[in-house]
Amino acid sequence: MTAAPSLSILLLNGPNLNLLGTREPGIYGTSTLADVEETARTAAAARGCTLRAFQSNSEGALIDAIHGAAGTAGGIVINAGAYTHTSIAIADALAAVGLPVVEVHLSNVHRREAFRHTSYISAVAGAVIVGAGIEGYRFAVEHLAARLGAPAGTSPKS
| Cα–Cα dist 36/22, whole Å | 14
107 is in an annotated binding site: yes
- Dump the DSSP string for 4-65: -GGGEEEEEE-TTGGGTTTS-HHHH-S--HHHHHHHHHHHHHHTT-EEEEEE-S-HHHHHHH
41 is in an annotated binding site: no
CB neighbours of 69 closer than 8 A, spacing ≥ 6? Answer: 10, 76, 97, 99
52 is in an annotated binding site: no
Active site residue 117: no
Active site residue 105: yes
- Which of 83, 105, 120, 143 is labelled catalytic? 105
- The one-letter amino acid at 48: G
In this structure, is the dihedral angle defined by the CA atoms of residues 130, 136, 141 and 143, taken in order, positive or negative?
A: negative
19 is in an annotated binding site: no
116 is in an annotated binding site: yes
106 is in an annotated binding site: yes
Binding residues for substrate: 79, 85, 92, 106-107, 116
Active site residue ranges: 28, 105
